[in-house]
Amino acid sequence: MATLHELVTPDSIRLDVSAGDWREAMRAAGALLVSAGVSDDSYTESMIRNVEENGPYIVVAPGIAFSHARDEDNVHRTGLSWVRLQEPVNFGHESNDPVVLVAALAARNSSAHIMATKQMAALLDDPEKREALRSAATPEDFRAALQ
């Protein structure tokens, strides 16, 4: 299984993105997956429906959302994108709002999803890594913080 660092390229990271709400933030992250050839637009809409139906459980740490959905033949390969928002948005999470970092994972199968989720948990458990993601000056610096 690829590491988080390997799943994301500098082209799948956007810093200081403007988003009016959580849906726009997720669409920005999903658009990066689409432009990288990882998934289709329908996958992005599935990620949004996932939150609408199940609530903001994807806001996994203070200020950080980890969006994903089930592959319904709309994921071409496993990949990850990241968006850092210019201004935080609320997802409706009781303790982890507002969100400034949105990761979008598209996984081809459940084992890839589980491995990426475990790696994400380890990353987010490290306060220094979280701060490096929040303060990265360039997509390359952001990607380096994922190692």
Does residue 93 carry a catalytic annotation? no
Distance CA 91, CA 47 (A): 13
Nearest to 130, CA basis, from 96, 92, 93: 96
Instruction: Find the DSSP H helices in 2-138.
Output: 4-7, 22-35, 41-54, 110-124, 127-135
Residues in Cβ contact with 114 at an 8 Å cutoff, skipping those fewer than 6 apart: none
Distance CA 110, CA 136 (A): 30
Residues in Cβ contact with 121 at an 8 Å cutoff, skipping those fewer than 6 apart: 60
The one catalytic residue in 68, 76, 93, 113 is 68
Q: Give catalytic residue positions.
A: 68
